[in-house]
Amino acid sequence: ALLLGAGGGVGGAAALDAVEDDPAPASSTSESGTTGAVAPLEAEESPEGDPAPGPDGTAEAVAATVLPSVVKITVINGTDSGGSGSGAILSEDGEILTNNHVVEVAEGGGQITVGFDDGSTAPATIVGTDPVTDLAVIKAEGVSGLSPARIGDSDALSVGEEVVAIGSPYGLEATVTSGIVSSLNRPVAVGGDESGDDTIYPAVQTDAAINPGNSGGPLVNLAGQVVGINSSIRTSSSGLGGEGGSIGLGFAIPISKVLPIIEQLRSGETPSHARLGVTVGNEIEGGLAIGAGIKNVEGGSAGEEAGLQAGDVVLKVDDEVISSVDGLVATIRGYRPGEEVTLTVLRDGETLTMKATLDSDVEGNDS
């Protein structure tokens, strides 16, 4: 099985195994992201009882509500090749949220075109990108009066809850599919940065059909609120016969985990991410992974301050059970720099708990 970025023609296959929680790769912002003030995004409260944006709270009602806030993104790089993806409108004047792997090929002088629900198009420029969370903000030029997407609370999602995915799979704009939340906090590795490090995040897993070209589009609840950004799929394709399609294993970046990153991108800041400052590897016992084994602890890091030592095995972060390296990396990336977590650690057969105040990967930024 392969795990693919779901951007048509722009996302590559990524291995599931990661071996280090390294300092984050450099993120980038363009000058276009540093002008003017932006109104911060605010998550709406989750509705009580039956969420219903329309008369019956169906996928039909959700589609009518959300489709005007979703765009198709076409990217051409300097060699006239590229691909397509999707995005969610953030502001009336053209700010759009998408995946980094959708637009990264345009950073070397390529062209980005945005297609709107009414059939119009506009050129766009990159405001900021963040390979660590696989997010990007772009700005459509010369537009106004757009319909921003409503932001929900991904922390309020429940397994089995109905959700709707909207985007442009294989270039087919305004495609709507529905399903349920299959799992939460699923560690997923996809894409990667220029240094070869995988992007790992605590994903919302869904069986709503997600295919190449859906990347960057919204996953929404039945209240029409964005709860995730569709980013990758698991496919059974060997990769030899072209891109694989949906087999009911799609993954979205939970919106509540990344709202601070989105605001930093919109403001032209360098995005900051939480880090523990340790090198880790899967800890195997009886043929099964039982946690994330600490191989090395950086001097002066959050891990050292907490008391972690080489040879320790991290079993839990707060209430989240850690069964692998990816699980630890994804869980830590769900926090913000400066937040305190409780680590449950196995050391020489004894279970210990310790507090860690997470570092930032951006110097001088601990919040």
| Stretch 183-196: mean pLDDT | 71
Range with top average pLDDT, 105-109, 145-149, 345-349: 145-149
pLDDT at 198: 61
251, 325: one domain: no
- C-beta separation of 357 from 305 below 8 A: yes
148, 15: one domain: yes
168, 237: one domain: yes
221, 304: one domain: no
Q: Show which of 232, 266, 300 is a domain's final residue.
A: 266
pLDDT at 332: 95
172, 224: one domain: yes
Active site residue 198: no
Residue whose pair of structure tokens reads 């799929």 in the numeric block: 233
Contacts of 238 (CB under 8 A, 6+ apart): 2
pLDDT at 32: 42
**For position 71, which CATH number holds?**
2.40.10.120
How many whole angstroms separate alpha carbon 367 and alpha carbon 359? 9
Q: Is the pLDDT of residue 31 over 50?
A: no
Q: What is the pTM of this model?
A: 0.81
How many whole angstroms separate alpha carbon 196 and alpha carbon 130? 14
Please identify which of the residues 101, 154, 193, 360 carries the catalytic annotation: 101
pLDDT at 35: 40
Other CB atoms within a 10 A radius of the CB of residue 238 amount to 10
Greatest Cα pair distance, the chain, in angstroms, is 64
pLDDT at 48: 57
How many whole angstroms separate alpha carbon 359 and alpha carbon 338? 6
For residue 179, give its domain range: 2-20+57-266
Asked if residue 137 is part of any domain, the answer here is yes
280, 220: one domain: no
- C-beta separation of 160 from 181 below 8 A: yes
Q: Is the pLDDT of residue 11 over 50?
A: no
More confident residue, 237 or 55: 237
108, 238: one domain: yes
**For position 297, which CATH number holds?**
2.30.42.10
Asked if residue 243 is part of any domain, the answer here is yes
Q: Show which of 266, 292, 323 is a domain's final residue.
A: 266
Please identify which of the residues 27, 86, 178, 215 carries the catalytic annotation: 215
How many whole angstroms separate alpha carbon 40 and alpha carbon 42? 6
Asked if residue 133 is part of any domain, the answer here is yes
Asked if residue 44 is part of any domain, the answer here is no
Instruction: State how many domains the chain has.
Output: 2
Question: Average pLDDT, whole number, for the chain?
Answer: 83
Active site residue 318: no
83, 134: one domain: yes
Please identify which of the residues 130, 134, 326, 361 carries the catalytic annotation: 134
Asked if residue 33 is part of any domain, the answer here is no
Task: Express as a percent the part of the chain with pLDDT over 90.
Answer: 64
Q: Is the pLDDT of residue 287 over 70?
A: no
Q: Is the pLDDT of residue 237 over 60?
A: no
Q: Is the pLDDT of residue 16 over 50?
A: no
Residue whose pair of structure tokens reads 């300092």 in the numeric block: 23
pLDDT at 286: 64
79, 109: one domain: yes
85, 192: one domain: yes
Q: Show which of 235, 266, 297 is a domain's final residue.
A: 266
Q: How far is CA 287 from the centre of its chain?
A: 31
237, 296: one domain: no
227, 288: one domain: no
**Cα first-last separation, the chain:** 38
Asked if residue 115 is part of any domain, the answer here is yes
Which residue, 244, 84, 105, is CA-closest to 172? 84
Q: Is the pLDDT of residue 193 over 60?
A: no
Active site residue 273: no
pLDDT, tens digit (0-9, with 9 covering 90-100), for 94-140? 999 999 999 998 887 889 999 999 999 999 999 999 999 999 999 99
Asked if residue 36 is part of any domain, the answer here is no
Lowest mean pLDDT among 10-24, 94-108, 151-165: 10-24
Asked if residue 215 is part of any domain, the answer here is yes
